[in-house]
Amino acid sequence: MTASRSALFAQINQGEAITHALKHVPDDMKTHKNPALKAQSGPVRSGPKPFSAPNPGVNPSPKPATKKGPALLELEGTKCRVENQENVSNPVIDDTELKQVAYIHKCVNTTLHIKDRMNSITVDNCKKLGLVFDDVVGIVEIINSKMSKFRLMGKGPTISINKTDGCHVYLSKNSLGCEIVSAKPEMDVLIPIEGGDINEFPIPEQFNTLWNGKKLVTTVTEIAG
């Protein structure tokens, strides 16, 4: 196989020189100059149409390049924006207030710690994100993300996970009452048990999951309307 491939590349690399090895065909052997040969050759099948040369005067419009936005870690009004952080270890958001929300967008291979209470947290389009957060009054929403880990240290009513693969959710003893609403994820929930060990439970698709103090109780998600 290697010898055949080497021979093929050798022929390609000859370029125009390969045409010198072709034999010259005299006019009496060409079918378009000798009707008798054309009649003997039988019906001529039409091959595929050649590619038409592009008009040199017309340049196709290039597709706009996808630009990465600036790295942000800032408070804008009541929204804490964490965007385009890549390969960043342990940035910390602290002194938060109940009215504030966190929006974490397009972060890659980054670990983030949100201390104190927040109103809600949204994680959108992140990959290999590690997020540790304390108390959340409202919902924690995770969408369009991959291979990320989330740890709820305090209390939170709901974690919603949608269009996310390779997700791990760690609950602490304080957060075992948190409800996990999942839609087609590939994820596991990790629950602390006696002795400091952790048990790992996979989450099925389109179900609600709640820890009842002894085990995970899963019910079918109800769709409104």
Higher pLDDT, 223 or 188: 188
Phi, psi for residue 202 in degrees, rounded to 5: -75, 150
What's the pLDDT band for 57 if we cut at 50, 70, 90? low
Two structure tokens written together for 105: 């967008």
Write the single-letter amino acid at 99.
K
The domain ranges of the chain are 72-220
- The CATH number fitting domain 72-220, selected from 2.40.50.100, 2.160.20.70, 3.55.10.10, 4.10.410.60: 2.160.20.70
What's the pLDDT band for 46 if we cut at 50, 70, 90? very low
What's the pLDDT band for 69 if we cut at 50, 70, 90? confident
Taking the C-alpha atoms of residue 112 and residue 154, their distance in angstroms, rounded to an integer, is 16
Two structure tokens written together for 25: 């065909």
Two structure tokens written together for 5: 């491939």
Our CA dihedral for 12, 13, 14, 15, rounded to 10 degrees, sits at 80
pTM exceeding 0.75: no
Residue 160's closest CA among 218, 222, 208? 208
